[in-house]
Amino acid sequence: MVYGNLHFDVRDRIATVTFDRPRTLNALSDDVMTDLGGAVDEIATREEIGGAILTGAGDKAFVAGADIGELATQGPIDGKARALRGQAVLRRLETCGKPVVAAVNGYALGGGCEVALACHLRVASDRASFGQPEVKLGIGPGYGGTQRLARLVGKGRAIDMILTGRTVSADEALQIGLVNRVVPHTELAGAARDLLDGILAMGPIAVRLALEAIDRGFDLTLEDGLLLEANHFGLASATSDMREGMQAFLEKRKPRFTGQ
């Protein structure tokens, strides 16, 4: 499918979604979020896609934030509706069942930081920076920043970033656990793809079940989370991929997973 505000390319089982609004540093307008929702649906439903990379066009920005021209005219009702729509898109991304890597090539601010937070892994260029500066505009995060950031880096660090609106460098983002890798800017695309290629070499059902167990179990009691894990372990044990993985290990060869 062709989108007006982003590029969607599939190669070797990886979908690359590139935000492409260079004049606005890839800002998230309502149309961009609609396009992203369509791209997420493609990622989730197309069998030839094993995982995805999200990145931004150009060298300056992953996504520099929301489209302020749209936000400036919103009232309380349409503001809440906009937040709920954006949250729904990012939740679909987070629960699509396939690994998604954010390749953060520059500014990831406001909504851009929230998009990165909804991805399963984040690889950052050494030029990247992150922030939730919405308080400087008299609003707060609306696409999940208050929830995912605190879960990822801890409540204290999230409060610091959100209430001060400050920007953190790629190195600080790595130190606090906001990103998983920092690489030289010129190596970003290759590093993100290498990371995802490695994951796609694993059993796809096992990856899907692991993502679901982590997501669903995070807010459960330990006992309930352990039961969820045991159930998923049992489900994986019923697959042909499990038998292939075990046999390949015993035969000292690479497994040939089929997703069954």
40, two tokens = 């997420």
Residue 172: both structure tokens together = 């600080």
Q: Which of 47, 94, 114, 244 is catalytic?
A: 114
Exposure on the CB side of residue 153, measured as CA atoms within 13 A? 23
Annotation marks residue 114 as catalytic: yes
Strand 129-131 relative to strand 167-169: parallel, antiparallel, unpaired? antiparallel
* 251 among known catalytic residues: no
Q: Which of 134, 212, 223, 229 is catalytic?
A: 134
- 171: how many CB neighbours lie within 10 A of its CB? 12
CA distances from 77 to 32, 99, 136, 161 (A): 21, 34, 21, 27
Collect all residues with Cβ–Cβ distance below 8 Å to 180 and sequence separation of at least 6.
121, 122, 123, 174
Q: Is 75 helix (H, G, I), strand (E, B) or coil?
A: coil
Closest CA to 29 of 55, 79, 65: 65
Q: In what order do the strands lie in the sheet with 167-169?
A: 61-63, 107-109, 129-131, 167-169
Q: How far apart are CA 143 and CA 126, in angstroms?
A: 25
Residues identified as active-site: 114, 134
